[in-house]
Structure 1
Amino acid sequence: MKKRYRLGCALVVMTTMSLNAQKKPTSLDTYDVSRTLPIVDTIELKEKLLLMEQEIARSNTAQKKQPFLYKEVVWDSTLQNLNDRKYAAKIDRLWMEELTTGTLYDSISAIVNDIDYEDVDYPELTTEVLKQRLAELDARTPFNVEYNRSLENVIKGYLKRHKPTLERLMGLSHFYFPGFEETLDKHNMPLELKYLAIVESALRPRAKSRVGATGMWQFMFNTGKLYGLDVSSYVDERMDPILSTEAAAQYLSKLYEIFEDWDLALASYNSGPGNVSKAIRRSGGRTNYWNIRHHLPRETAGYIPAFLATMYIFEYAEEHGYHPAQPDVNYFETDTIRVKETITLQQVSAYTGVSLNEIQFLNPAYKLDVIPYVKEEKYYLRLPITAIGPFVANEKNIYNTAKKELERDEKTLLDMV
């Protein structure tokens, strides 16, 4: 029997992280004792980068793991028909718009790119309380969450100016964080890396930067290919939450092996290992992020502060009176069908009664809203479970109708590349 899966969005308990993969360097006073920082052999760094690229090239594919967002369910197709679907009535329309529009991505991009280190007047959070909370975060994470004046101003600036955006992101995180944590735990990686997807894309699967980085984890074309994410005229697996999260975990793990420091691994994820290596060289071999950030690209210089500020606010949301938006329905029961003919998401919506926004949300990797049929490839349509049985029962008629519509409207589809 075919496996069925349900999209689950309940929050999961953070699991214990492996000490070996998350070993934190000895704490350093990066502002006052910078001359005590270790000097790095950048030639050795370049050799490590080359070895990493060669190793990835040999495998040249990311593991296609069992989907983390979906759980097994039982389906009886005899109980449904094409017109009896009531699933859409459960979904808050405004919430679905929140999932599929790009306003959050635009907001978070502006925040990261225009990060401000100037003093911020925010009396609700004293320096003493912030120092205590950062020390608590530092103790329970493998990141160097140490107090400094610049980080204080970034955090206070977020709290003062961006509360609505962050509350919306907290609500949206309920859909994705459990799956992120499962994948990160599998790779023995810090669960707090889930916050990176907020800084990168505001949790938007179809996010695309001005330089072409795409998806929740903002993979460039070549890096995505290197980690097994296929990109064609119709399909972009960088937009697939499951496959891209697996690829991001593999890439971040490799970067940590090279730099042996999570701050530098994150900086290299954003700007590339080469830029971080050059920043280390230009700073005289120092390896603490706060001492090399002035030698990094402007966007990357604000990247780690944005990540740490996001982590702080999510971890202390209740203390700051944040109230995340909650959906009426916080999970999706879904299943997949392997397509047998080319079909558009608009046609699927018309035939099933499922809103186009929902179908796009469940199938973000189809960048033109077209699921192609290619003999040697396997492409799947994901639908709410209540629409699967009726679709299968009427499959032949649906494909015939779709084909006639495409021919009638003279919609010439692109050749696969």
Structure 2
Amino acid sequence: MIVRKLSIVVSAFFTMAAFSQETASTLESRPEVKLTYLDSIKSTFKKDNLLATKVDSLWMNELVSLDIYDDLTKDIQTINKDVTVDEELPTELLKQRLAAMNEKSPFEIEYNQGLENIIKSFLKNRKKSFSRLMALSEYYFPIFEESFAKSNIPLEIKYLAVVESALNPKAVSRMGATGLWQFMYGTGKQYALKIDSYIDERSDPLKATAACSEYMTKMFNIFGDWELVLASYNSGPGNVTKAIRRSGGKTKYWDIRNYLPKETQGYVPAFLATMYLFEYHKEHGINPERAVVKNFETDTIAIKNQMSFKQIADLLDMPQSQIQLLNPSYKMNVVPYYQGEQHFIRLPKDKIATFVSNEDQIYAYVKHDTEFRSTSSRLAVKYAPKAKPAATKPTAIDKGDFEFYKVRKGDNLGAIAAKYDVSISEIKKWNNLKTNAVAVGRSLKIKAEEEVPVKTVPVADKEQAVASVENKEKTAVDMDYVVVAGDNLGSIAKKFGTTIAELKELNNLTSNNIGLGKTLIISKAAVVIEEPSSTAIASNSVDSFKKKAASKNVSEDYYVKKGDSLYSISKKYPGVTISDIKKWNGIKDEDIKPGMKLKING
């Protein structure tokens, strides 16, 4: 028995030893993941997890989708208030509910057949839309109510934004009216809303709502009736005045309605129908979808230098769609910087905390990234081969030009369009869709982007080779990637030349945890960053130098380019001086030539 136990122990010992050797071998063979300057910056960030909130990427796409706006706008313009709609809602019960609403509202809410028909039409055709609108309202309604309360305007006016824009600050009408409150260009200027190449404050929820409050106050001082104020908001005060005259001097909306433009005749009833559905949604089985981010969970910070939404998203690990939602007045996904003016970025409070705690590193990265992109663009233009005249393409589109996307549960055209960076109208055109409704399981055609072949740069041309390596030649790969042992989002992002934030947004991930065997969507335009071969000229890896600068005895080879000086090269490396470079390379004067190799030590 003792011998048997001893043999078991010995066997276990050798098994553990073998396992340890195998594990060590596996770890040694695993390729080293090189960190970028972005990751090195983020690794120094102070984290504030007390206010951390999860952001649902699908919900963000929902907020910036325009399909509800398109559908609701069409409904309001085409609903015939005189056509009876077959929907379960007893007339007497509706009268009781409207009377109850009237008691606690400054609006004169009274039953009529036209209002009943519009309410039933919404209940029959737009239940799902109102469920989504109620989720949006959790973010926007507190903004409206605060502004209206300051100006002594009825809080029920908040429902007007549902009728005007379906609560979408990016909504633009056929006439060019823009934003939550659908201001025309001239009206926006009249109420001091800034509109230029970078900014359109008609899409700013706070500033546009303040302008709306000012307009409503002026109109109420003229007409003294809130229904007439709404009518004037839709068709202008001139049309309301003419309707009053044509009615023989009557001053109530319901008395002059038939003298107003046709659209305005259904406008106020649509507003009241919206108010009814929000008040009695539970009774009709309308369950609001959840709102992940509410207005009071956000804050603003002044921006000291121009920065793009992508730079902010990469630094703070958040989807660009969320930044777009919170900052809809920036037209080009860039927060500009004007001398003498302050511009603000609105972010979730936990991201504000991270931003404030790490401002110096953030602005250092933005400066580096902007300069790098500018240099890369100039080099790309300089060394781009002359293109041959493009052959004329046939008008018919080959089947191979399309990708196919199978609609899944929870999808909508807005989310699908955002995924492929195309517009809703393009998807509808490619698939002959008349409405924004898409059935689960349907395959949609999405036009594929044309890929530009990468040309190899001869190593003999040193200057051209350096430009090639700096721009990191890219090779197209498949969209999907299966997670294997040892993977994490950081290593996968480096492998495919993307960011953790973009991977999380593409795959609807709310954390950095990924399971073995999970298939990840990488990108429609995914790329693999190729390492230069031993015969190629080494890259000027400023990023890796900055990451390794904290350790001693680190060296980099830098190849001098045309226009370089010892001063400009020293500025590329933190803490390095001209005298350092001269000392490390045995240079007595400052005479350097293109192609010359310099050693940069840490």
TM-score (norm 1): 0.74
| SS of 2:300 mapped into structure 1 | strand
**Partners of 1:409 and 1:357 in 2: how far apart?**
26
Shift of 1:226: 1.8
**Partners of 1:409 and 1:246 in 2: how far apart?**
43
**Residue identity in the other structure for 1:198:** V
**Could you tell me whether the CA contact under 8 Å between 1:82 and 1:352 is conserved in 2?**
no
**Partners of 1:272 and 1:180 in 2: how far apart?**
22
**Could you tell me whether the CA contact under 8 Å between 1:268 and 1:275 is conserved in 2?**
yes
**Partners of 2:363 and 2:294 in 1: how far apart?**
33
**Partners of 1:226 and 1:80 in 2: how far apart?**
48
Shift of 1:280: 2.1
Shift of 1:390: 5.2
**Partners of 2:288 and 2:91 in 1: how far apart?**
25
**Residue identity in the other structure for 1:397:** A
CA RMSD for the aligned pairs? 2.4
Name 2:135's counterpart in structure 1: 171
**Could you tell me whether the CA contact under 8 Å between 1:83 and 1:352 is conserved in 2?**
no
**Partners of 1:230 and 1:199 in 2: how far apart?**
24
Name 1:237's counterpart in structure 2: 201
Name 2:270's counterpart in structure 1: 306
Are residues 1:158 and 2:122 paired?
yes
**Residue identity in the other structure for 1:119:** T
**Partners of 1:104 and 1:186 in 2: how far apart?**
30
**Structure 1 residue aligned with 2:252, among 288, 309, 315?**
288
Count of residue pairs brought into register by the alignment: 332
**Structure 2 residue aligned with 1:397, among 342, 346, 364?**
364
| SS of 2:283 mapped into structure 1 | helix
Shift of 1:297: 2.8
Name 2:447's counterpart in structure 1: none
Are residues 1:407 and 2:371 paired?
no
| SS of 2:183 mapped into structure 1 | coil
**Could you tell me whether the CA contact under 8 Å between 1:85 and 1:353 is conserved in 2?**
no
**Partners of 1:277 and 1:80 in 2: how far apart?**
64
Alignment map for 1:54-69 (pairs within 5 Å): none
**Structure 2 residue aligned with 1:188, among 124, 146, 152?**
152
Are residues 1:383 and 2:347 paired?
yes
**Residue identity in the other structure for 1:389:** V
**Residue identity in the other structure for 2:257:** R
**Could you tell me whether the CA contact under 8 Å between 1:145 and 1:308 is conserved in 2?**
yes
Pair 1:96–1:400, CA change in 2 (3 A): same
**Could you tell me whether the CA contact under 8 Å between 1:134 and 1:146 is conserved in 2?**
yes
Are residues 1:97 and 2:61 paired?
yes
**Residue identity in the other structure for 2:85:** V
Alignment map for 1:205-216 (pairs within 5 Å): 205-216=169-180
Shift of 1:83: 8.6
Pair 1:315–1:89, CA change in 2 (3 A): closer
Shift of 1:197: 0.7
| SS of 1:192 mapped into structure 2 | helix
**Partners of 1:145 and 1:335 in 2: how far apart?**
37
Percent identical: 49
| SS of 1:320 mapped into structure 2 | coil
Pair 1:398–1:85, CA change in 2 (3 A): farther
Name 1:120's counterpart in structure 2: 85
**Partners of 2:309 and 2:265 in 1: how far apart?**
40
**Could you tell me whether the CA contact under 8 Å between 2:139 and 2:293 is conserved in 1?**
no
**Partners of 2:373 and 2:259 in 1: how far apart?**
54
Pair 1:99–1:181, CA change in 2 (3 A): same
Name 1:265's counterpart in structure 2: 229
Q: Any stretches of 5+ residues in structure 1 without a counterpart?
A: 1-78, 412-417
Pair 1:184–1:332, CA change in 2 (3 A): closer
Greater relative contact order: 1 or 2 (C-alpha under 8 angstroms, separation 6 or more)? 1
Structure 1, residues 160-207: CA drift from partner, whole Å, max 9, x if none?
111111111112111121222222122112111110110111111111
**Residue identity in the other structure for 1:120:** V
Shift of 1:332: 6.1
Shift of 1:337: 3.0
**Partners of 2:192 and 2:209 in 1: how far apart?**
12
Structure 1, residues 293-332: CA drift from partner, whole Å, max 9, x if none?
3333332222101100001111111121211101345466
**Residue identity in the other structure for 2:363:** K
Structure 1, residues 134-174: CA drift from partner, whole Å, max 9, x if none?
11111211111111111111111111111111111112111
**Residue identity in the other structure for 2:362:** E
**Partners of 1:352 and 1:283 in 2: how far apart?**
60
**Residue identity in the other structure for 2:368:** T
| SS of 1:90 mapped into structure 2 | coil
| SS of 1:380 mapped into structure 2 | strand
- Give the number of the structure whose alpha-carbon radius of gyration is greater: 2
**Residue identity in the other structure for 1:239:** S
| SS of 1:338 mapped into structure 2 | strand
Are residues 1:342 and 2:306 paired?
yes
| SS of 2:101 mapped into structure 1 | helix
| SS of 1:263 mapped into structure 2 | helix
**Residue identity in the other structure for 2:256:** I
**Could you tell me whether the CA contact under 8 Å between 1:138 and 1:145 is conserved in 2?**
yes
Pair 1:331–1:254, CA change in 2 (3 A): closer
Shift of 1:391: 4.7
**Partners of 1:220 and 1:115 in 2: how far apart?**
24
**Partners of 1:261 and 1:393 in 2: how far apart?**
54
Structure 1, residues 57-99: CA drift from partner, whole Å, max 9, x if none?
xxxxxxxxxxxxxxxxxxxxxx995496878871122211111
Shift of 1:340: 2.6
**Could you tell me whether the CA contact under 8 Å between 2:52 and 2:350 is conserved in 1?**
no
**Could you tell me whether the CA contact under 8 Å between 2:143 and 2:295 is conserved in 1?**
no
Are residues 1:217 and 2:181 paired?
yes
**Could you tell me whether the CA contact under 8 Å between 1:184 and 1:249 is conserved in 2?**
yes
Pair 1:410–1:297, CA change in 2 (3 A): farther
Pair 1:384–1:178, CA change in 2 (3 A): closer
**Residue identity in the other structure for 2:160:** L
**Partners of 1:175 and 1:155 in 2: how far apart?**
24
**Could you tell me whether the CA contact under 8 Å between 1:238 and 1:365 is conserved in 2?**
yes
Pair 1:409–1:151, CA change in 2 (3 A): farther
Q: Any stretches of 5+ residues in structure 2 without a counterpart?
A: 1-41, 379-602
Name 2:332's counterpart in structure 1: 368
**Could you tell me whether the CA contact under 8 Å between 2:138 and 2:291 is conserved in 1?**
no
| SS of 2:222 mapped into structure 1 | helix
**Partners of 1:245 and 1:383 in 2: how far apart?**
19
**Residue identity in the other structure for 1:143:** F
Pair 1:221–1:331, CA change in 2 (3 A): closer
Pair 1:247–1:409, CA change in 2 (3 A): farther
**Residue identity in the other structure for 1:226:** Q
**Could you tell me whether the CA contact under 8 Å between 1:197 and 1:203 is conserved in 2?**
yes
**Could you tell me whether the CA contact under 8 Å between 2:140 and 2:295 is conserved in 1?**
no
**Could you tell me whether the CA contact under 8 Å between 1:88 and 1:355 is conserved in 2?**
no
Name 1:325's counterpart in structure 2: 289
Alignment map for 1:69-88 (pairs within 5 Å): 81-82=44-45
Name 1:60's counterpart in structure 2: none
Pair 1:208–1:81, CA change in 2 (3 A): farther
Name 1:45's counterpart in structure 2: none
| SS of 1:247 mapped into structure 2 | helix
**Partners of 1:107 and 1:346 in 2: how far apart?**
31
**Residue identity in the other structure for 1:257:** N
Pair 1:240–1:328, CA change in 2 (3 A): closer
